[in-house]
Amino acid sequence: AQKITQTQPGMFVQEKEAVTLDCTYDTSDQSYGLFWYKQPSSGEMIFLIYQGSYDEQNATEGRYSLNFQKARKSANLVISASQLGDSAMYFCAMRENTGGFKTIFGAGTRLFVKA
Amino acid sequence: GAVVSQHPSWVICKSGTSVKIECRSLDFQATTMFWYRQFPKQSLMLMATSNEGSKATYEQGVEKDKFLINHASLTLSTLTVTSAHPEDSSFYICSAEQGATLYNEQFFGPGTRLTVL
């Protein structure tokens, strides 16, 4: 069963507008971490933002914010004021302790920012 | 942030040969390293978790005899693809972390693109 679900294979957004990338997850653990990574065409993985399962406040990092709804098991990424350089693949990931810590990634969403 | 390097960045080899990929943490000691494989336009799939000085833990469906992982020191892990075939062509990415907590940030290498002819 999918542990991380990203239902949007591709998204378009106009430059300077905000966009929300969806992510839902599945776990029975109470303690887990949620991450978002950006992967441009070069292939490098760029860490964007982190949310802990016990964090009551939504995480924010500059133009990135994470809309964490624990009861719904969702962790959507919001990018404000989109820039052309934001065009990339975005991966949602969950880290949990399953006899050792490991991080599992969703299928990803490709974001296209239009000028 | 911390720096993780991979070598080579790309490699082309003939079917049946073995290829070794190195992953190094340049400015920290990595207690754990992870190896991922990414096919075109797909997600990162965890292959194995490697702890220094112990045997790697492989994910279900990953052949440990085909993908040999060695984590000989706190700064170096290697992935050897043995008897590579065209279906092994992929983007291989390692990541490294220091310590073992739920909130650790993983530092990713730039990836190695393997093409098997």
| pLDDT tens-place string over residues A65-114 | 999 999 999 999 999 999 999 999 999 999 988 878 889 999 999 999 99
> Which chain B residues are Cβ-neighbours of A44 within 8 angstroms?
108, 110-111
Mean pLDDT on B83-107: 89
* Cα Rg of chain B, angstroms: 13
The residues of A whose Cβ lies within 8 A of any Cβ of B are: 31-33, 42-45, 47, 50, 52, 91, 95-97, 100-108
Contact A102 B34 (CB under 8 A): yes
Q: For residue A86, is it left (φ>0), alpha (ψ between -120 and 50) or beta?
A: alpha
Instruction: Give Cβ neighbours of residue B82 (< 8 Å, ≥ 6 apart).
Output: B18, B65, B66, B67, B68
Mean pLDDT on B5-23: 97
A42 C-beta neighbours (distance < 10 Å), count: 9
- Label the pairing between strands B57-58 and B44-51: antiparallel
* Residue A46 pLDDT: 94
Question: Over pLDDT 70: what percentage of chain A?
Answer: 98
Q: What would the pLDDT profile of A34-74 be if each residue is shown by its tens digit?
A: 999 999 999 999 999 999 999 989 999 999 999 999 999 99
Whether B1 and B98 have beta carbons less than 8 Å apart is answered as no
Nearest Cβ partner of B49 from A102, A105, A107? A102
Instruction: Give Cβ neighbours of residue B25 (< 8 Å, ≥ 6 apart).
Output: B2, B3, B4, B33, B74, B75, B76, B96, B98, B107
Nearest Cβ partner of A100 from B45, B49, B106? B49
* Residue B6 pLDDT: 97
CA dist A77 and A23 (Å) reads 8
Q: What would the pLDDT profile of B27-57 be if each residue is shown by its tens digit?
A: 999 989 999 999 988 999 999 999 888 889 9
